[in-house]
């Protein structure tokens, strides 16, 4: 008899769940709206129902589920969401709550850490034992895996890749610090930089690509660069320079086998990776036998969070 | 019958060795000159002889030595010093070489990592399982211990605490990058900043403390600050601001239980620690139950490297 696991990626907008086999393949997945604001109890009931529906639709008895894993935003410590502002959770024993509703053992991880673990076991880090995920979205998220272990910190708050400081006294960050990685390298930062460059350069081809500032997205500057537009090229250069600074710091400190870049901007592929790798090599030390961290794009997309939660 | 270990701290100037008991106490230590440039063979013979002399002088039979541990500069991978510029080593199988000369099992670690481990097992991190050492000297050295394990990286080059980048495009560093932590927070950087401030401010009391620029050391600016001198205070403020940026990055990423500041400047005690802690709290996230990394001064000094090597 095969056993399966369910991985749940709990987000502020959607709750996505996947039925995962022993090889970390997702057999079936399903997603519902989180519909915030709601109580933790209501969310847990939805998670439990979603897990059962997933099994029903896959024609797998719920008894065959060995384990449920949840990835949640926020600071996680021993099965408890200590705080997750966007979910309204505070000291919420999410693992126990879902365990009671399902009768299954439930584990809980931070969602960024879960996604990093997913990439390690089933994505771009398959077969490796160390990986740092840098996920470029509204902010910069991520997770650190060393020796096959998620680095959660003694207090559950580690892995805040987006909040290492890459420019002392730099751009103000929502976290209260200045110069955090994510103030330069999130998709939001890239979009804001693109808009500012357009305002400063009315002659730029960016205005053709995005007739109004509201049309700007994380791809606009890269598209402009491919048209040979100088303004767009400068925006992309600055973005990749700053990304290289953050990635270099991660390498100098931890030298993981893999650093994977995720989020929408990873779709740029070599337009992002080739200059990034060159800049990183120029400002990091190689290890024994010249071995260096491999920088790649994440391969699992949103599935990484589901798979990593299920591990 | 008690068993003992020997820890060897191999440096560019001295080779220090200590006889260490099961409780990580140093029973006896002894140091000789490294006398570079010399061959690795000659250095290993000296290390072996030093170990035997240490036992003789302590009246302990060499047979009672269970293990010899060496901490060496450079990139270390599986008992081999892959490269250590200041020793002139390249792919030097130091552990094997000393094992052959002594008939003992020999382990090899990077010296910064050994010192961090020493502080963890016998110094300011005793009883904890995670610690990052930030050692302020000619450069900024250090080591990262998580889950009681030294983070060496897949290629032996991890733990380069001094080369995380805290100011994109900032001060040029010997490593080829710009804005590395050590270009702002080494003792050399502090001394240079003190001298520059003195040149710019002929009225400063720093000129009384250090009649010539050659008299400036890592203590001068702190002494000037204690006299109420504005120029000195500005130098110290900048130094601690930048130290806080680097320490904050380490915390955001790894949330260890302890960050310990070592090197000469640690003698400043609360003059360093109190403002440092305040600045770090303002720019880092607390974890579960508000738990935060404790920032302290290293307590073992040079013994940390000997004890950590012996572990």
Q: What is the ipTM, given to two decimal places?
A: 0.95
Per-residue pLDDT band for B3 (boundaries 50, 70, 90) equals confident
Q: What is the CA radius of gyration of chain A?
A: 20
Contact A292 B155 (CB under 8 A): yes
Is B82's CB within 8 Å of A288's CB? Answer: yes
Interval B6-27 mean pLDDT: 95
Q: Does A50 touch chain B (CB under 8 A)?
A: no
**Intra-chain end-to-end CA distance of chain A, in Å:** 19
How many Å apart are CA B54 and CA B23, to the nearest integer?
Answer: 18
**How high is the pLDDT of residue A84?**
85
Say whether residue A254 is in contact with chain B using an 8 A CB cutoff: yes
pLDDT of residue A260: 98
Put simply, the chain A residues between 80 and 109 with a CB less than 8 A from any chain B CB are 80, 82
Cα dihedral value B174, B176, B177, B181, nearest 10: -20
Q: Which residue has the tokens 């207090």?
A: A155
**Interchain proximity B165–A166, CB inside 8 Å:** yes
- Contact at 8 Å (CB) between B79 and B95? yes
Chain A residues touching residue B252 (CB < 8 angstroms): 160, 163-165
- State how far residue B227 is from chain A, nearest Cα, in angstroms: 28
* pLDDT in the model for residue A1: 56
- For B283, which of A80, A151, A176 is closest by C-beta distance? A176
Structure token digits, residue B179: 């804005």
In angstroms, what separates the C-alpha of B173 from chain A's closest C-alpha?
Answer: 10
Count Cα atoms within 13 angstroms, Cβ side, for A223: 14
Order the strands of the A14-20 sheet from edge to edge.
A26-33, A14-20, A4-10, A65-72, A106-110
Q: Tell me, what DSSP letter sits at residue B74? A: S
Q: Cα A170–A176–A180 angle (5° rounding)?
A: 40
Reported pTM:
0.95
Q: B256: which chain A residues are within 8 Å (Cβ-Cβ)?
A: 153-154
What confidence tens digit (pLDDT) does each residue in B50-69 have?
999 999 999 999 999 999 99
* Token pair 């001060």 in the structure block, residue: B171
Q: Which tokens in the block code for residue B298?
A: 């290293």
8 A C-beta contact, residue B12 and residue B86: yes
Predicted local distance difference test score (pLDDT) of residue A303 = 96
Whether residue B1 is predicted with pLDDT greater than 80 in this model: the reply is: no
Q: How many CA atoms does the CB half-sphere of B97 hold within 13 Å?
A: 18
Q: Residues 6 or more apart from A270 whose CB is under 8 A from it?
A: none
Helix axes B303-310, B111-122, angle to 10 degrees: 90
Phi, psi of B48 (to 5 degrees): -60, -45
- pLDDT per residue of chain A (311 residues) written in tens, 0 to 9: 578 999 999 998 999 999 999 999 999 999 999 999 999 999 999 999 999 999 999 999 999 999 999 999 999 999 999 988 888 899 999 999 999 999 999 999 999 999 999 999 999 999 999 999 999 998 999 999 999 999 999 999 999 999 999 999 999 999 999 999 999 999 999 999 999 999 999 999 999 999 999 999 999 999 999 999 999 999 999 999 999 999 999 999 999 999 999 999 999 999 999 999 999 999 999 999 899 999 999 999 999 999 999 99
Under an 8 A CB cutoff, do B82 and A257 touch? no
Check CB contact under 8 Å for A178 and B151.
no
Contacts of A165 in chain B (CB under 8 A): 166, 245-246, 248-249, 252, 283
Q: Does A285 touch chain B (CB under 8 A)?
A: yes
Instruction: Give A167's strand partners.
Output: B167
Full set of structural domains in chain A with CATH: 4-104 (3.30.420.40), 127-299 (3.30.420.40)
Give A-chain residues touching B178 at CB under 8 angstroms. Answer: 283
With beta carbons under 8 A apart, name residues in chain B contacting A184. Answer: 168
CB-based contact B153 A282, cutoff 8 Å:
no
**B293 in Cβ contact with B258 (< 8 Å):** yes
């Amino acid at each position: 008899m095969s056993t399966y696991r369910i991985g749940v990626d709990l987000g502020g907008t959607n709750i996505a769940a996947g039925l995962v086999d022993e090889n970390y393949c997702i057999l079936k997945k399903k997603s519902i709206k989180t519909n915030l604001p709601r109580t933790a109890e209501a969310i847990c009931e939805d998670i439990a129902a979603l897990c059962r529906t997933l099994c029903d639709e896959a024609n797998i008895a719920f008894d065959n589920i060995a384990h449920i894993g949840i990835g949640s935003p926020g600071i996680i410590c021993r099965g408890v969401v200590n705080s997750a502002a966007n979910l309204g959770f505070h000291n919420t024993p999410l693992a126990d709550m879902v365990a009671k509703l399902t009768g299954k053992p439930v584990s809980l991880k931070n969602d960024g850490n879960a996604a990093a673990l997913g990439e390690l076991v089933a994505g771009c880090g398959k077969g490796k034992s160390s990986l740092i995920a840098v996920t470029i979205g509204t902010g910069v998220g991520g997770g650190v895996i060393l020796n096959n272990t998620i680095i959660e910190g003694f207090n559950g708050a580690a892995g805040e890749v987006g909040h290492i400081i890459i420019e002392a006294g730099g751009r103000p960050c929502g976290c209260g610090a200045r110069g955090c990685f994510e103030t330069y390298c999130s998709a939001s930062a890239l979009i804001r930089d693109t808009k500012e460059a357009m305002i400063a350069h009315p002659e730029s081809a960016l205005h053709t690509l995005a007739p109004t500032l509201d049309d700007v997205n994380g791809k606009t500057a890269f598209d402009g660069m491919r048209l040979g537009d100088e303004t767009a090229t400068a925006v992309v250069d600055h973005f990749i320079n700053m990304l290289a600074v953050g990635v270099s710091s991660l390498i100098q400190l931890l030298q993981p086998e893999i650093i994977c870049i995720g989020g929408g901007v990873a779709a740029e592929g070599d337009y992002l990776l080739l200059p990034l790798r060159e800049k990183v090599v120029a400002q990091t030390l190689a290890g024994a036998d010249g071995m260096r961290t491999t920088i790649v794009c994440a391969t699992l997309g949103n599935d990484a969070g589901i798979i990593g939660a299920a591990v």
